[in-house]
């Protein structure tokens, strides 16, 4: 199972903000991801198929680790609702003046 060093994680956080690790204990695999950027979201929102959306999201946001997180169907399909964590952004308030 791939494990990034604390220094590497700190560098990713400095460059990208939030960093996420998806891991499968059953398959002994782990990979690290960041949130998508605006340009990537523009491309991703054009994908209608949910499975393809998730696959492209992971591909776009990959930092390091075991690529089997993306290529092994058992692991990929097991990500389920956890993948949505990559799409949680800051909450913004609107105030009518």
Report the topology of domain 6-80: rbstp2171 (3.30.2220)
C-alpha 49/C-alpha 66 separation (Å) is 24
- Average pLDDT of span 49-54: 92
Q: Which residue has the tokens 């949130």?
A: 35
Global model pTM greater than 0.85: yes
Phi, psi of 64 (to 5 degrees): -170, 165
pLDDT at residue 68, as a whole number: 94
Instruction: Give the pLDDT confidence of 1-43 residue by residue, as tens digits.
Output: 899 999 999 999 999 999 999 999 999 999 999 999 999 999 9
C-alpha 54/C-alpha 16 separation (Å) is 20
C-alpha 87/C-alpha 57 separation (Å) is 9
Among residues 25, 24, 20, the alpha carbon closest in space to that of 63 is found at: 20
**Is the pLDDT at 47 greater than 90, yes or no?**
yes
Going from N- to C-terminal start, the domains of the chain cover 6-80
């Amino acid at each position: 199972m791939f494990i990034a060093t604390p220094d590497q994680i700190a560098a990713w956080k400095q460059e990208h903000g939030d960093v996420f690790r998806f891991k499968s204990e059953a398959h002994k695999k782990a990979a690290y991801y960041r949130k998508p950027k605006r340009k990537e979201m523009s491309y991703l929102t054009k994908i209608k198929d949910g499975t393809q959306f998730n696959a492209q999201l992971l591909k776009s946001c990959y930092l390091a680790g075991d690529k089997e997180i993306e290529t092994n169907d058992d692991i990929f399909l097991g990500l389920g609702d956890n993948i949505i964590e990559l799409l949680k952004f800051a909450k913004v308030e609107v105030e009518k003046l």
